């Protein structure tokens, strides 16, 4: 067998296997809280849990309804959305596309629209197995999981 034959075999094999696969195993959780035995994959998540959640009494109180919160940001979100209704004011602002008639409530959605619809080089993700093309990576992942992954798990 020549080296060219091996390369050809490897190329055909790589096209048959999906590139994006979900693992059925959960990642190893190696950081454990000594107070409540909750475990985390990453140390910073354990540290946040110990600082804000585990055995912490809610110390931030809403000045309107006296509801208590463990985190100040959660209390502020509550006040803004329930009592001040600032979330409705944000939705009135429209971000208009300068190249077409589309408009969006959120600036990030306008940026995504411009990237996918008006870019000089439009992103394109192609399925190695069937050639299906999509504009966003998560759509390719969803396609691979729903169409092809079931054949490789059996």
Which residues make Cβ contacts (< 8 Å) with residue 56, sequence separation at least 6? Answer: 70
Q: How far apart are CA 71 and CA 81, in angstroms?
A: 16
Tens of pLDDT, residue by residue over 56-75, are 888 899 999 989 988 898 89
pTM over 0.85: no
Q: Is the pLDDT of residue 17 over 80?
A: no
């Amino acid at each position: 067998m020549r080296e060219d034959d091996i390369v050809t075999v490897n190329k055909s094999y790589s096209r048959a296997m999906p590139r994006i696969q979900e693992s059925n195993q959960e990642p190893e959780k190696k950081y454990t809280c000594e107070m409540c035995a909750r475990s985390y994959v990453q140390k910073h998540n354990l540290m946040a849990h110990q600082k804000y959640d585990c055995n912490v009494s809610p110390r931030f109180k809403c000045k309107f309804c006296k509801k208590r919160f463990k985190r100040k940001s959660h209390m502020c979100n509550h006040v803004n959305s329930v009592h001040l209704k600032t979330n409705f004011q944000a939705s009135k602002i429209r971000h208009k596309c300068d190249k077409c008639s589309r408009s969006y409530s959120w600036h990030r959605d306008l940026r995504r629209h411009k990237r996918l619809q008006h870019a000089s080089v439009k992103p394109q993700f192609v399925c190695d197995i069937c050639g299906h093309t999509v504009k966003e990576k998560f759509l390719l992942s969803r396609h691979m999981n729903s169409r092809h992954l079931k054949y490789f798990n059996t």
